[in-house]
Amino acid sequence: MFQQNNFHPLYFFVLSAVEVGKHLYWTIGNYSIHGQVFIVSWIVISTLLVVAFLGTRNLERIPGKLQNFMEFIMEFLQDIAKNQIGEHEYRIWLPYISTIFLFILGSNWAGALIPWKLINLPEGELAAPTNDINTTVALSLLTSLAYFYAGISKNGLSYFLRYVEPTPVLLPINILEDFTKPLSLSFRLFGNILADELVVSVFTLLVPILIPLPVMILGLFASSIQALIFSTLSAAYIGEALEGHGDH
């Protein structure tokens, strides 16, 4: 969340926010930055960069364990992009789909695996970036920009003819669909990750020894599924935008 520190109505704006409990904010100029999301996001990004560097710095004809793992991840992400976007155009969008999947997966797992509550902050607690609505909305808007760019770059202004097909009567519904896509993406991811962390926290308070472990394992599985759903739907939207308006 970014907001002006001057609280005059003309200068105050919020892009999106759900405030529950206390949060750590850093002030930079006239804006406030959500410190908890910023810290954990960069831990996830740094981890992904280190693993990618170590896994690809010495590529060999006969791969080792880490290279095998990296190749498996690459093939998995290629399949997602190829199945949704198509054989001929998926390579251009593979970096975006891969980045979305890996960041969301890393963020979800960071919240499920790492005991952030052991780290004391002046305010609030560290948690998965994806349990903050601002993060999921930002990711969803990136996907919206991506599929609009994909459609316009391939079909030009004729891309917008899809709003009046198969009949102009569907124009309001087709426009509304473009608003509901990022909404459904963001709230699905946010709701599932927040609910998972709340369930683990409650079970940990009630039965702190045995019960939380299977719940955490289930949370890891659910977190992985959410990353897969988000990236697959993003690829599907891009693939749909890349179709010519006459192909619908």
4 domain residue, yes or no: no
Region 94-100: mean pLDDT is 94
112 domain residue, yes or no: yes
Region 90-100: mean pLDDT is 93
Q: Which domain holds residue 93?
A: 48-247
Region 90-98: mean pLDDT is 93
pLDDT beyond 60 at 51 = yes
28 domain residue, yes or no: no
Cα–Cα dist 205/200, whole Å:
9
217 domain residue, yes or no: yes
Cα–Cα dist 39/56, whole Å:
26
29 domain residue, yes or no: no
pTM equals: 0.81
Residues paired with residue 34 on neighbouring β-strands, in sequence order = 25
pLDDT beyond 50 at 17 = no
pLDDT at 47: 93
Structural domains of the chain, count? 1
pLDDT beyond 50 at 16 = no
Is 130:230 a contact under the CB 8 Å cutoff? no
Quick: pLDDT tens for 133-172.
888 999 999 999 999 999 888 888 888 888 887 778 878 8
35 domain residue, yes or no: no
Cα–Cα dist 35/113, whole Å:
20
